[in-house]
Amino acid sequence: MKNYRIAVIPGDGIGIEVMREGIKVLESVSQLTGDLQFSFDHYDWSCEYYAKNGVMMPKDGLKRLEAYDAILLGAVGYPGVPDHISLRELLLEIRQGFDQYINLRPIKLLPHVQCPVIGQTPETVDMVFIRENTEGEYAGAGGIFRETSPEACAVQSSIFTRRTTEKVMRYAFELARKRGKYHKLTSVTKSNALNYSMVFWDHIFDELASEYADVQTEQCHVDAMAMYMIQRPQDFDVVVASNLFGDILTDLGAALQGGLGFAAGANINPERKYPSMFEPVHGSAPQIAGRGIANPMAMIWTVKMMLDFLGHESYGECVLSAMMKVLADPNAITPDLGGKGTTASVGDAICRQLHML
């Protein structure tokens, strides 16, 4: 019997609502398999916590999370708390503090989900993004200088270390080698305009490419990449990108896979020195929060990624199969997909399907 300790941070708004369904699914997996157990500790670190305490999480927050096997996060952010506070003080703090330098984002159109681009199918939209997750454009380096004077200027510097860039690319090469599509890795760059950071990025990519002769490689400027993802998504297999480029392109990817309701993500520390964190891409969505209509698929897919990471890929596949079964019933799905289902009814339906597999 394997027992995993999971730290749960539901966060705000729909984060709290979808988290319940994610946990439900893990409990079903546990009942079904009989050899996996999860114990969940909940942490109420959120914007509400911030309103009461003036901080997003306690000073010893990272210390308290350190010993867990994984962290599950719903979503943080709420009107009244600036995004740069909720993001920086919780998400970025955990991502950087636990050296979760890989952000993993599957972009896959599931059967029965409508793609906004005509003609695309589950066969054509199926790629994985590896986004650098701790430095680059989001390193937080720079400043606002002489803000009140007419000569005011702001500087936001990117930091690309060889150490992290190389590790991120190596992870991407290994995944391209392992994934059974084209064994192809696309590097997103912009070295025609960013003459230091992206030229450096390209050099490291070229160096590694010679080590992975079995992986097909290509380099693509970020602007062109945005176009190609719409025009010919079928050409992409594994994609590696910097923090900012990856952030933007994966939201484009979310649209391709049917919206934020399907966008799952993982923040990984591959060395397993620290826990990895699994979170859907969407935010707390205050506009729909409290109505029980948020689509829990992204959260449940995120849970599947956690199972994969813990070494239980076959159970992860079961979760994805159960999701696909539920998607086949147009009445079962949530209103964002045109259905009449609720967050809870979709979670229940997925659990039922799991028990029938």
**Interface positions with ligand ATP (CB under 6 A):** 14, 75, 77, 83, 260-261, 282-288, 294-295, 298, 336
List the x/- string, 199-238, binding to Mg ion by CB under 5 A. ----------------------------------------
Query: Least distance to ligand ATP from the beta carbon of 191, Å?
Result: 31
> Is the Cβ of residue 265 or residue 283 nearer to Mg ion in the bound state?
283
Given the complex with ligand ATP, which of 14 and 266 has the nearer CB atom? 14
Contact (CB, 8 A) for 235 and 228: yes
Over the range 229-262, which residues count as b (16 or more CB within 10 Å of their CB) and which as e?
beeebeebbbbbbbbbbbbebbeebbbbbbbbbb
Return the number of the residue (25 or 90) whose C-beta is nearest Mg ion: 90
Residue 316 tokens read as 């992860």
Out of Mg ion, ligand ATP, none, what residue 81 binds, judged by CB under 5 to 8 A for its kind, is none
Q: How far is the CB of 314 from Mg ion (least distance, A)?
A: 34
Cα–Cα distance, 117 to 256 (Å, whole number) = 7
Q: Which is nearer to ligand ATP, 261 or 339 (CB)?
A: 261
Task: Quickly tell me which residue has 């994969």 as its tokens.
Answer: 308
We find the least distance from the C-beta atom of residue 11 to ligand ATP, in angstroms, to be: 8
Nearer to ligand ATP, 83 or 329 (CB): 83
Q: In sequence order, what are the beta bridge partners of 106?
A: 128
**Of Mg ion, ligand ATP, none, which one does residue 294 interact with (CB within 5 to 8 Å by kind)?**
ligand ATP
d(CA 242, CA 201): 9
- 324 is written with which tokens? 């696909």
Q: Which residue has the tokens 């290509």?
A: 218
Work out what residue 11 binds among ligand ATP, Mg ion, none; the CB cut-off runs from 5 to 8 Å by kind.
Answer: none
DSSP H/E element including 250 = helix 243-256
Rounded to whole angstroms, how far apart are CA atoms 111 and 328? 8
Is residue 10 within the footprint of Mg ion (CB under 5 A)? no
Residue 172, contacted partner among ligand ATP, Mg ion, none, CB below 5-8 A by kind? none
Please identify, using beta-carbon distances, which residue of 13 and 283 lies nearer to Mg ion: 283
Q: Give the tokens for residue 9.
A: 């941070």
CB 186 within 8 A of CB 219: yes
* Residue placing its CB nearer to Mg ion in the complex, 10 or 283: 283
Binding partner of residue 287 among Mg ion, ligand ATP, none, CB cut-off 5 to 8 Å per kind: ligand ATP
Contact criterion met (CB below 8 Å) for 18 and 73: no
Rounded distance, CA 284 to CA 281, Å?
Answer: 10
* Interactions with Mg ion, residue window 280-309 (CB under 5 A): 283
Residues binding Mg ion (CB under 5 A): 283
